[in-house]
Amino acid sequence: MQVRGLPDDPSTGAVSSDTVGIVTMSYSCVLRMVVVMALVLVLSAGSVAAQKFGKISDEEKLLGAPVDYPEANSMIVFDRSEIEISMDNIKINYHTRIKILTPEGIEEVGDQSVSYHEEYDKFKGFKAHTITPEGKKVKVEKSAIFEKTADEYREKTFSFPSLEVGSFIEYRYSVISKRFRYLRPWYFQSDIYTLKSQVAVTIPNGFTYNVQYQNVPPEFRKAELEEKIDVGAAFAGAKIRTFTWTRENLPPITDEPYMSARNDYRSALRFQLQIFENRYNLIKYQKTWPEQGERCQVWLDEYCNKDKEIKRLADEITAGLSNERDKSRAIHAFVADNFRTRNEYHNWYFMHDNIGTLLEEKHGTDEGKNVLLCELHNAAGIPAFPVLISRRSHGQFYSDFAYLPQFDYVIAFVQLGNEYEFLDVSSKFAPYGVLPPDCLTSGGLLVDEENSQLVRIRQKPMYSGRTDRTRVHVAADGTAACTTSCNFRGYYASLYGKRHESNDPDEFATDYFLDKMDVQYILGQHQCELDTASEFVFTMDYSSDELVEQLDENLIVKTVRYAYCSNPFESENRFFPVDFQYPFTYRNVMEIVVEGDVQESVLPQDLNYSCQGATFERKTTVKDSMVVVDTKLIVEKTKFLPNQYQQLRRLFGKIALSSEDEVAFVKAPTE
């Protein structure tokens, strides 16, 4: 529940009339980026603002499941936010109305919750009720509203009474915030169908906000503009402007495989305060990236308080090494091997108040370890800088929106002469210079005081591959004894190394390998290591009496494969890209040796499937009485657009089917 970002600065964000003096001049207030200051047709049938709390229209009473999503159990009739910015604070009014369409919808939406921040927000004016199909209103009593807490976060949770099919649930509340700089993002889309979603931002003279659009088609970006005279303003002609954006008929966004952060796919708006200006003042709020970096530097400098000790440590680690890259590798290995990761946060990115405690306790957050990595490099005379990023699982990075809360992680940038590396020490099994796949974002903010700048993080053009090699020895009694070696390179190594560290070793073997096969097994010895070629290698032995079937005089041996045995793309349709994170090659080699005399073997046919951007092939050969089944899947690109989904789905369906193929051994008849 922790917000991953720098603490906001309410003391400088709030603009009160005391600090700015008398507002006399008339300055126009504009919203930059793609806001057009003209009245634009709003595509909705009627304004949501006209809908009063508790008043259901005849149209709404007749509403059923949407034509484009007939299985909806419930539906957001409207979801509206009014953001009123004033000199003292920001008041956000929320109003939501949901209709229950089926009995299952009661369970789906009957309990609701809303959250806010204890320090920065005031929660007010909460009202909620059920409106039955007959029109009776049943209030959610105050005694039925509960507050949960998780550190500084608060969650109001409540349950609607008297629910039945055809009921409406409706609630509204206000949040008074002092956080001027970044308004809460508005998400048009939810996890249930949304008939209409609307956000209205009312801005008095003097304020300028940036708007960032996410998955909002161009035709919906033009806000409806309403202006009125600000009668309370100190000078004549001052206006209050209200910008309203509306979207309609939005299907829910659900979790699918190979997607990044769910919020990346939701249609949304984000707002950042740029400037406040009047006759006497011009206050810039939107920082440039260098300015943001400077702020971060202050905070990082407070954290890094052990220069001497770090210098001593750096000298120890790099003793006898002259080459910068060797020194860097040694430092990387030292931090990765000696500091455990614990991802609980008490202080924004870091677990501790300062790096000294990290050094003492020998465990901390991955971010803290990466900052230590930078410090050690610098102490060893190698320039290194922390880089703030937004990991893929957190959300996309918007470089044109200098908004610090969009970051959720810190990696290290190391300058090695004319070369550089992005480093991360979250896993000791991850090869040097290979970021975890979740960190493969487009860029981040390199923090270097006033020289802070955005940096692009390019995927290294490296081979990311996995090769599984299994020798299956089939005994006379039909039991199969298997020895497997799985070699991971590149981003694969980083991914599986981290998985290994995050799981119990036995569960790593079963969850990521053996359970994929759907046969019973007895796990034997297994181990992991990072070899000298920076490959993460996992080996295991196991046996199974379900891999081989006796059919008269024939032995039927099932395919052994630990990945892509089922089609990950189960949904028939998909409306957002498939994101594999990195191009990769997966190779599976199965070698079968059968005890006893084999008269002939019936091999599965060779296969060759492809679609744009991916290929799969299988070759089966016999070599020295050993049958070798060699399959290879190559995914050449990271992203596949929605219009390529069907082809990809078909391909992976065929790949999954190929795991059902068998090798038949016809044994020589016994005398």
Partner 1 sequence: MQLRTNLSAVWLCLLVCWTGPGTVSADESAEDKAVYEYKTWDCRIKGNKFTLTVKNRLRINNLRGDGYRRLSLFEDKYNKLTGVSARVLDADGKEIYRRKKEDMSRVCGYGNGALYRDACTYYTVLESAQYPYTIEYEYTRESSSLFFWSDADFQHFIPIHGASYRLTVPPGFDFHHQIRDLELEPEISRSGSEITYVWSASDIPALEEIDHLPPGHNEGARIEFVADRFSLNDYALERCDWGGIGRWYNQLAQGRYLSGNSLASGTGSLEAVDILYLDVQQRTRYVAVNIGIGGWQPHSADWTLEKGYGDCKDMSTLLVSKLRRQGIEAHPCLVLTRGRGVTDVDFPSIAFNHMVTMAVVGGDTLWLDCTNDNLSSGDVPWSIEDIDGLVVTEQGGQIKRISASTAEDNQCVLNTHLHIAGDRRLRLDVDLRVTGNQAVYLRGVLESMDNEETRKFVDRIFDGASKKYRIEAYEIRNLDELEEPVVIEMQATGIKPLRKIGATLYCGPFVLDEMDGFERTDLDDREFPLYLYYPELMQSNITITWDSSLAADSIVLPEDDSLSYPFGELRVDSRRSGDTVYVEFVKAYHAYELAVEQFADFEIFRERNRDIIRRYAKFMTLTDQ
Residues that bind partner 1 (CB under 8 A): 71-73, 103-104, 106-108, 110-111, 144, 146-151, 155, 157, 159, 161-163, 338-340, 342, 344, 346, 357, 360-363, 501, 504-507, 510, 518, 520, 522-526, 549, 551-552, 554, 556, 566-567, 570-572, 602, 656-657, 659-662, 664, 666
251 vs 443, beta carbon nearer partner 1:
251
CA-to-CA distance for 274 and 206, rounded, in angstroms? Answer: 10
The nearest distance, CB 360 to partner 1, in angstroms, is 7
195 vs 201, beta carbon nearer partner 1:
195
161 vs 443, beta carbon nearer partner 1:
161
Spatial neighbors of 283 by CB under 8 A, at least 6 apart, are: 15, 20, 275, 276, 277
The nearest distance, CB 485 to partner 1, in angstroms, is 18
179 vs 649, beta carbon nearer partner 1:
649
Side by side, which strands form the sheet with 90-100?
Answer: 137-139, 121-131, 168-177, 90-100, 74-85, 193-203, 239-250, 224-229
110 vs 444, beta carbon nearer partner 1:
110
169 vs 412, beta carbon nearer partner 1:
169
The nearest distance, CB 618 to partner 1, in angstroms, is 14
The nearest distance, CB 530 to partner 1, in angstroms, is 15
CA-to-CA distance for 529 and 258, rounded, in angstroms? Answer: 27
The nearest distance, CB 361 to partner 1, in angstroms, is 5
**Joined tokens for residue 284:** 């810039």
The nearest distance, CB 313 to partner 1, in angstroms, is 14
The nearest distance, CB 571 to partner 1, in angstroms, is 6
The nearest distance, CB 527 to partner 1, in angstroms, is 11
CB 448, CB 476: distance < 8 Å: no
24 vs 162, beta carbon nearer partner 1:
162
Nearest to 422 by CA among 463, 395, 388: 388
The nearest distance, CB 655 to partner 1, in angstroms, is 11
104 vs 294, beta carbon nearer partner 1:
104
Burial class (CB within 10 angstroms; exposed 0-12, middle 13-18, buried 19+) of 586 = buried
Helix axes 366-379, 307-318, angle to 10 degrees: 70
- Cα atoms in the Cβ-side hemisphere of radius 13 Å centred on 152: 13
Residue 501 phi/psi, 5° resolution?
A: -75, -25
193 vs 397, beta carbon nearer partner 1:
193
Please state whether 258 falls in left (phi above 0), alpha (psi between -120 and 50) or beta. Answer: left
The nearest distance, CB 108 to partner 1, in angstroms, is 7
Task: Pinpoint the alpha helices (H) of 380-449.
Answer: none
CB 192, CB 413: distance < 8 Å: no
CA-to-CA distance for 502 and 482, rounded, in angstroms? Answer: 26
Pairing of strands 224-229, 239-250: antiparallel
CB 56, CB 168: distance < 8 Å: yes
315 vs 660, beta carbon nearer partner 1:
660
